[in-house]
Structure formats: C-alpha cells, structure tokens
Chains A and B, each alone.
Chain A
C-alpha cells in the first residue's frame, strides 16, 4: 500500500501538569522532567515534521505551559511553517506569556474545560482555584482575538451540563467546541465507574449536539466525540493507524497515537535515534496496523472497513486481548459482550465511585 504523508503531529512536550484529571490521556506511567527533550531537539523535530508533510502541530502535554521554553518552541514551530495549536488548561499562561506567544505567531488555543462552575471543575481537575484562573485566561485570549476552541471533556458527572457548556463556549467567544466524551484508555479505565455516562445521557447528548450545531451554524463549529461503548460501530481511530497523524512523547519516542504504548509488543523509535521520515515510513510499529490486511475476516468483508478501519487498536487489545482484533465496540465483534459487561459493571458500581486522580510525575 502507498503510505501518505502525515497531516498532524501531537507534541507532548511534558507530562507535568498542575491538574490531575482522572481521565488524563497521558499514560499511567508518567515521565518526569529529567527525561524531557530539550528545546533544540524539539525544534529539529518540528522542522523534520514540516518537511515530511505535517501541516498542523498540536503543542500539548501534560500542560505545555509547564515548559519554560514554550514561547521558543512555538516560534520554532512557526518558523518551520507549521500551523500551531496550543492545547492547554490555561494554568501558567500569564498575560505576559500570551503576549509573547502571540508575538511569535501562535495560531490557535484549545482550552480545556473540566466543568461549567468552580465546584465541579476544580473537583474533576483536582486543582482548587483552577476554574477561576482558567476563566481569567479565557478572557485574556478573547481580548487578544486569538482564535479559541473550547475542549469540553464530558462524562457521567458533567454531561447533564451540556447546555450550559455550549452557552459558555459562545460567551467566551470560541469559534469551535469539542464535545469530547471520555475515551477509555489509561487513567480513564481506572475510573470507568465514575466516568461512563448512562445510555440516557448519551442519547440526550447526541440530540443536544445536533440541535445546537444546527442553531449555531456559522457561529460555533462542533466536533463531537460520542461515548463509543454505546455505539453500534467503532470510531475511526486516528483515521487509520499511521495514515494521518503521529505523536511524540516527552522523551522523544514517536507513536502512531497517544495510547499506543499500551500495546506492549510494539517497539517505538526515538526522534533522537532515527529520522522522523524513516520512523513514519519504515518502522515496524508504524507499519504494524497500517491498512486493513491485518484485520480478521469480520472486518475485511464489512462494508464499513474503509470508514473505521476496524476501530481502535488499543481498545481491541485492552478489551479483546488482541490488538489486531475487531474493536469490540463493534456490534459485529465476537467480543462485543465484553463491552456490554463493562457497561453493566460500571453502571452497577457508579454510585459512590471515587476518582483515582492522576498523580504528578517526578
């Protein structure tokens, strides 16, 4: 098969973060500051990415503002010709720093939202005072006219506030709202009972998003990630493994997706050991699940194989025990009963389920 060049790169600059959200997309084994790549190595990675065909760079973490060199990194990304998105909780973005980021050409900010009011948001983020600081940062972003996306991470404990979330996005002047229902990898799997929404919440969410999307067309664009355990068919994870995006983690390992390290038999190359181009086109990890030939007959004979590529490899491993299996979310999967069992278990244990918060890396 012909491998296309990647479009987007996620740069996890650090795993450090003042928040400790119980669904953090970082791995459960977090990397500390001493293993992080330095400024020059990141700058070189951005240059290589641009030459490889990457158009969109997501500067993320952890909290990317925890990196003292965030402004230098943003400048390097823009000089490489990349469109720069800053994916942040807002904590650590002082007015002075926002001025500096604007001056070096930051294109866009994606601000996370844990909840619509301080009690809820600070409890979920595990950081007292975080909501108030975030709202202040949102106002600073708005005052400068920096394009803003609000990323509302949604789950059982805040989905009933979706209407207010949408209102807030409009009030904050966001052009785009991600209604990102928690996907269950890493930390989130430790909190499934507390986070999995009910079927009723899921149906209401789909209805509300569709209604708001029609009403706010031209004002607020929506990206909706539904809770996939209730879906008939799996999500098109990463648009297909190794087809559109890649991820560099704080110590320089290059992954096909942020959760790929949960697949233990894959070995990931580091940007410090091998050119990014070789890693993308030639490394065994990136070629492991490219295309659809590796999939079972259930998928290969399915009319949706070109739409969802058999779903998420990490989820196939986590639930079905085989990273090459049909994503068990699919109703055609022979392992679908395992998803149903997880749902039943989560609903049974939901009342009184406490969060296991993400811990701070050293």
Chain B
C-alpha cells in the first residue's frame, strides 16, 4: 500500500481551485483498518494506507466544503502557515485526482 504523489510537472490539468468542492466518487471510501490500525482509502482494486496528514485532509473532503475552506480549517487546526498547508493539500489531492480516486465539482 503506497501513495503516489503527482509530480509537479503533471499538475497543469489537475490543479484544484480554491472554489472547487472535492469529493470521493462512488466506489472510493475511507475505512478504519481494524487489523493494522489507522485509516485506509479504498478504491477499485486498490487500498492506500493514509498517514495522519492524509487522514486529516480526507476527513474534511465531503463534496460540500470548498478547497479554500478545507485549507483554512487545516491551517487553523494545526496552527500552520496557510501557504504551506495549501501546497501540501494540493499535491496530495492532485495525486488522488490523477488516479481518479478524487473528483471535484464547482
């Protein structure tokens, strides 16, 4: 179970706008892993073990919250610079979007 992060040169078409509302499409869901601990992202024929950061991001992805709001919430919760959080979230979510584990609506 490993997570591929999108490389920066591939991001032009996958970038998520602050006003976009990301969501997990049908067939992609979070699950508590009772045997190994932690949370896994389940997708068609794939399982991705999430680290604490991934879990913090995806627990806020619900199809309603806009990316900007998710970043604001994370920056406030973890008392971290918004710019840095925005970069981390963008890289993480674009990696999922590249694999069609995540989609966005405006």
A interface, CB within 8 angstroms of B: 5, 7-8, 51-53, 55-56, 58, 81, 83, 85, 107-108, 110, 145-147, 149, 175-176, 214, 217-221
Q: Is the CB of B100 within 8 A of A110?
A: no
Q: With a CB–CB cut-off of 8 A, which chain B residues contact A176?
A: 44-45, 100
List A contacts of B27 (CB < 8 A): 107-108, 146-147, 175
Give bound CA distance, A258 to B45, whole Å.
17
Per-residue A-contact encoding for B35-46, CB less than 8 Å = 1, 0 else? 110001010111
For the complex, what is the distance from the CA of A110 to the CA of B98, rounded to whole Å? 19
B100 touches A221 (CB 8 A): yes
A56: contacting residue among B13, B25, B35, B47, CB under 8 A: B47
Give the chain A neighbours of B36 by CB distance below 8 A: 5, 53
Closest Cβ–Cβ distance, residue A218 to chain B (whole Å): 5
The interface residues of chain A lying within 8 Å CB-to-CB of B10 are: 214, 217
Of chain A, the residue at the smallest CB distance from B98 is: A217
B51 at the interface (CB under 8 A from A): no
Are B26 and A147 in contact, CB atoms less than 8 angstroms apart?
yes
Name A220's closest neighbour in chain B (CB-CB): B100
Q: Which of B16-58 contact A (CB under 8 A)?
A: 25-28, 31, 33, 35-36, 40, 42, 44-47
Asked whether B98 lies within 8 Å of A55 as measured between CB atoms, the reply is no
Question: Is A5 in contact with B100, judged by CB distance below 8 angstroms?
Answer: no
B66 interface contact, C-beta 8 A = no
Q: Is the CB of B40 within 8 A of A110?
A: no
Known: A55-B33, A175-B100. 7 other contacts (CB 8 A): A8-B47, A52-B35, A53-B33, A108-B27, A110-B45, A175-B25, A218-B14
**Closest 6 interchain pairs by CB?**
A147-B27, A53-B35, A108-B44, A175-B100, A83-B42, A55-B47
How far is it, in angstroms, between the C-alpha of A52 and the C-alpha of B33 when the chains are bound?
11
Residues of B within 8 A of A53 (CB): 33, 35-36
Complex Cα distance, B42 from A7, in Å, reads: 11
The reply to whether B45 and A55 contact each other, CB–CB distance below 8 Å, is: no
A8 to B: closest C-beta gap in Å: 8
